[in-house]
Amino acid sequence: MRYGATTAVDGVSLTVPRGRVLALLGHNGAGKTSLLQVCEGFRPADGGECRVLGLDPIGEHDALMPRLGIMLQSGGMYPWATAGELLQLFASFSANPINPEMLIERLGLQKSAKTRYRRLSGGEQQRLSLAVALVGRPELVFLDEPTAGMDTEARHTTWQLIEELRADGVSVLLTTHLLDEAERLADDVVIMREGRVAATGAPAALTAAAGIDLLEVRADAGLKPDVPFKVTEATPGEYAIAGALDAAAIAEVLACFARAGAQVTAVNTRRRTLEDVYLALTVKAGAHR
Amino acid sequence: MTTLALPSTATTSLARGWIELLQFLRDRTAMIFTFAFPAMLLLLFGTIFKDSYNNTGVSASQVYSASMIAYGILTTAFVTMGAGVALDREDGTLKRLHGTPITPTAYVMGKLILVLALSVAETATLILVGLLVFDMPSPDAAHWLTFAWLFLLSTFACTACGIAVSSIVKHARTAGAILNVPVVALNFLSGVFIHPITQLPGWLITVASFFPVKWMSQGFRYVFLPDSLKQYEAAGQWELGRTALVLGAWCVIGLVLCLVTFRWTERDR
């Protein structure tokens, strides 16, 4: 799958292999939704080329849609129809839909199946929207902030469902603001900044590249270890050493503690999370402005 | 990959029409305002203007009963359709549907099912008020046949124009108000609210003749009123042939406008 470029999205090129989950990250206005809109055939690309499942989303719209599942951020549901009726409607558009009742049960919507859309909670509306995207057995799904507004339980159900989709060979492209969501679900992450790709790779690779950036040492209070890193002692006896810490650096720090005659009782390393990587990238972007 | 055929446009149209009907029947505000309003106006007009037409034995309330069917169809087809499509576009319903295998035809057919059901019910209500409250005589079979094609042409022309106009309406919130401007104006010019139409200046009648409403109300008067009342029409004749021609032309114009202006999403700012 290749994507072209729109004015909000500049020179982005991505691939989602079959049965993989790609997460698009970026702050509001980074171009995530614009990019999705081009792939979904809602907007033409102003330049470049966009191919989804080998098809042009606008020119070959009718051939593409039966193979796609699209979950929009909001809107577009008949407020006076019930959740069950709505899912039935969208199921009726497909050649071989999943049984709507089964999907409703899978998403924990049994209690609200007879509730009119306007009376559903935000999380229930999200789950219905997800069900609508999946009911046609798509090969590729676009999920725009799939778990926004869901409670913890619904979020975990949704995550499990996305993992099952991947196991079934469905490709997933999702946008999210939740870094733990991306870290848990995504095989690959694309961090977007001002319409361009700021970083891309597997979550583990992105965080590993950054290395260990914090060492926590518990020892006697009031020590002043002479190391070339920033040392803070927030609580007496608990030291935090920050910086790019490789094995040699850690050994050197611990040696300093030993030279000072300290009794070290605990050592803990903290690897950078996806959130740290993300913040580092987006904060850098803020400094550019 | 699935090789099963997609459901036919007819099937998806029916599914869409069913949801549209549910949606309309459950929204009581919409029910009352689009549905009861023309009948209420008819009751008001019919009660206020009771006089007989120059000793023809026909009362003004009976004339209103016939003419107001045109207003009823305008409301259920033109206004409901125009505002409905504008709302579907604004709240993302059209966008969501565009992201599924459904065809534009099935979308429009779904709306058309709603409009047909509403127009039948609206027209039946107005005819019943005319028959039961204002003693309008029931026409014979030949007149009912004319009524059938007149009703279908009118509904289709108004629906097509409604969809076309929905593209110009910027916000769904104001759609009802905007769409009612031409509706009310044309009702005054076309012999619905003011009849005999010959009271109007000649040039205004000419203007009205370009639009479908004059021909709709004239046609419905032909169906429900005695033949002698044709003297009060602009041409002194019922002009059924010309009525069919003008309404047919508006069906074509409306359809072309629909195809040219139809958009799935709001125009980008």
Query: Domain extents for chain B?
Result: 9-261
The verdict on a CB contact (< 8 Å) between A74 and B99 is no
Q: How far is A193 from chain B (nearest CA, A)?
A: 22
pLDDT for B35 equals 80
Q: Does A115 touch chain B (CB under 8 A)?
A: no
C-alpha angle A256-A259-A261 in degrees, rounded to nearest 5: 115
Q: How far, in whole angstroms, is CA A190 from its chain's centroid?
A: 9
B98 contacts on A by Cβ (under 8 Å): 41-42
* The three-state (H, E, C) secondary structure of chain B, written as one string: CCCCCCCCHHHHHHHHHHHHHHHHHHCHHHHHHHHHHHHHHHHHHHHHCCCECCCCCCEHHHHHHHHHHHHHHHHHHHHHHHHHHHHHHHCCHHHHHHCCCCCHHHHHHHHHHHHHHHHHHHHHHHHHHHHHHCCCCCCCHHHHHHHHHHHHHHHHHHHHHHHHHHCCCCCHHHHHHHHHHHHHHHHHHCCCCCCCHHHCCHHHHHHHHCCHHHHHHHHHHHHHCCHHHHHHCCCCCCCHHHHHHHHHHHHHHHHHHHHHHCCCCCCCC
Hey, how many other C-beta atoms are within 10 angstroms of the C-beta on B198?
14
A95 contacts on B by Cβ (under 8 Å): 2, 4-7, 101
pLDDT for A159 equals 93
- What is the number of CB-based contacts under 8 A between chain A and chain B? 91
The verdict on a CB contact (< 8 Å) between B93 and A65 is no
Q: How far is B31 from chain A (nearest CA, A)?
A: 13
Which residues make beta-bridge pairs with A173?
A22, A142
Residue in chain B lying closest to A137 (CA): B2
pLDDT for B240 equals 94
Residue in chain A lying closest to B30 (CA): A80
Q: Does B1 touch chain A (CB under 8 A)?
A: yes
Q: Does A86 touch chain B (CB under 8 A)?
A: yes
Q: How far is A132 from chain B (nearest CA, A)?
A: 9
pLDDT for A82 equals 94
Q: What is the pTM of this model?
A: 0.82
Q: Which of A42, A86, A95 sits opposite B6 (nearest CB)?
A: A95
pLDDT for A2 equals 40
pLDDT for A230 equals 84
DSSP H or E segment with residue A158: helix A152-167
pLDDT for A31 equals 82
pLDDT for A289 equals 40
Ranges of chain B whose pLDDT falls below 70: 1-3, 54, 267-269
B264 contacts on A by Cβ (under 8 Å): 42
* Cβ-contact A128, A109 below 8 angstroms: yes
Residue in chain A lying closest to B88 (CA): A76
B2 contacts on A by Cβ (under 8 Å): 66, 95-96, 137
Q: What interface predicted TM-score (ipTM) does this complex get?
A: 0.84
pLDDT along chain A (289 residues), means of 10: 46 81 86 87 82 89 92 88 94 93 92 93 91 94 90 90 92 89 90 83 78 82 82 87 82 86 85 77 57
